[in-house]
């Protein structure tokens, strides 16, 4: 609500022929259930959820910018003895959820390409949220924890003393950032007006303030075809690392 509430209020002011209500989910699993059941009129899923949502009556109409920020990072405590990727063998690694792309799949693919069989060499612990994955590393419950840059930046701002005890040990290659999808029965005129508001945020000081909270520089137009590279990655991940439904 703190991050996205201002934009929803802005959209309601600018689009009088619709009423938007922001709804957050307790965790990834709850969000997935609602998304794939067609509960949301509009949603902002990660790229994996985006690809799956296309089979459940949604279409892509926009996305977050700054694709270079959509990567995985693996955190360790600064006082840990983890130096090389293979030092994680026999250890526990935390992730927010099995369906997280930047914070789970990209790190697991990175580990796979650096000598770790994620199905046998380590214990994978899915802890429910980005912040929980970070906190599990901080408290020493796991040897390393995966997340992605945006929640890590937010954590550093809100908890600088705790964040100072951690370091980003590895960073993965980037992929496409989160999308905006609309259920196919939502009037296109409403979706287009909502999209116009998204794409214009970086043009005004008020809009840039909203974007700074995310933090990203802009939203940009997108379509189903934009996410074809994600489909290629998911196919490779499912074949090489662990089987996923997509």
Assigned domain for 115 exists: yes
Q: Report the percentage of the chain scoring pLDDT > 70.
A: 100
pLDDT in tens, 148-204: 999 999 999 999 999 999 999 999 999 999 999 999 999 999 999 999 999 999 999
Same domain, 234 and 148: no
pLDDT in tens, 4-44: 999 999 999 999 999 999 999 988 889 999 999 999 999 99
- Max distance between CA atoms of the chain, in angstroms, equals 58
Same domain, 62 and 180: yes
Assigned domain for 229 exists: yes
Residue 215, pLDDT above cutoff 90: no
Distance, in Å, from the CA atom of 113 to the CA atom of 210, rounded to the nearest integer, reads: 37
Q: What is the mean pLDDT of the chain?
A: 96
Distance, in Å, from the CA atom of 218 to the CA atom of 69, rounded to the nearest integer, reads: 12
- Final residue of a domain: which of 131, 153, 171? 171
Same domain, 181 and 103: no
Distance, in Å, from the CA atom of 95 to the CA atom of 93, rounded to the nearest integer, reads: 7
Residue 246, pLDDT above cutoff 80: no
Q: Report the percentage of the chain scoring pLDDT > 90.
A: 93
Distance, in Å, from the CA atom of 221 to the CA atom of 173, rounded to the nearest integer, reads: 23
Distance, in Å, from the CA atom of 107 to the CA atom of 170, rounded to the nearest integer, reads: 9
Which of the four pLDDT bands, split at 50, 70 and 90, describes residue 74? very high
Contacts of residue 8, defined as CB under 8 A and 6 or more positions apart, other chains included, come to 20, 21, 22
Same domain, 63 and 77: no
Task: Report the domain count for the chain.
Answer: 2
Same domain, 218 and 193: yes
Assigned domain for 246 exists: no
Supply φ then ψ for residue 119, to 5 degrees: -85, -20
DSSP H helices in 78-128: 106-113
Give the CATH number of the domain where residue 93 resides: 3.40.190.10
Task: Find the domain containing 36 and state its range.
Answer: 5-68+176-240
- Model's pTM, two decimal places? 0.88
- Final residue of a domain: which of 148, 171, 194? 171
Distance, in Å, from the CA atom of 154 to the CA atom of 169, rounded to the nearest integer, reads: 18
């Amino acid at each position: 609500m703190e991050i996205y509430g201002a934009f929803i209020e802005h959209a309601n002011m600018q689009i009088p022929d619709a009423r938007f209500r922001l709804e957050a989910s307790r965790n990834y699993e709850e969000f997935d259930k609602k998304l794939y059941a067609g509960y949301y009129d509009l949603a902002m899923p990660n790229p994996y959820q985006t690809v799956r949502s296309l089979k459940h009556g949604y279409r892509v109409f926009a996305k977050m910018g700054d694709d270079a920020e959509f990567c995985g990072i693996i955190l360790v405590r600064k006082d840990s003895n983890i130096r090389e990727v293979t030092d994680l063998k026999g250890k526990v690694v935390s992730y927010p959820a099995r369906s997280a792309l930047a914070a789970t799949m990209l790190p697991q693919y990175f580990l796979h390409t650096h000598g770790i069989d994620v199905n046998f060499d380590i214990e994978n612990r899915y802890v429910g949220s980005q912040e929980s994955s970070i906190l599990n590393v901080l408290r020493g419950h796991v040897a390393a924890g995966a997340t992605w840059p945006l929640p890590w930046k937010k954590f550093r701002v809100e908890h600088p003393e705790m964040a100072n005890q951690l370091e980003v040990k590895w960073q993965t290659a980037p992929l496409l950032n989160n999308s905006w999808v609309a259920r196919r029965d939502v009037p296109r005129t409403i979706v287009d007006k909502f999209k116009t508001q998204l794409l214009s945020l970086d043009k005004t000081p008020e809009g840039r303030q909203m974007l700074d909270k995310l933090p990203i520089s802009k939203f940009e137009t997108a379509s189903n075809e934009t996410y074809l590279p994600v489909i290629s990655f998911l196919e490779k991940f499912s074949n090489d690392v662990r089987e996923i439904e997509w």
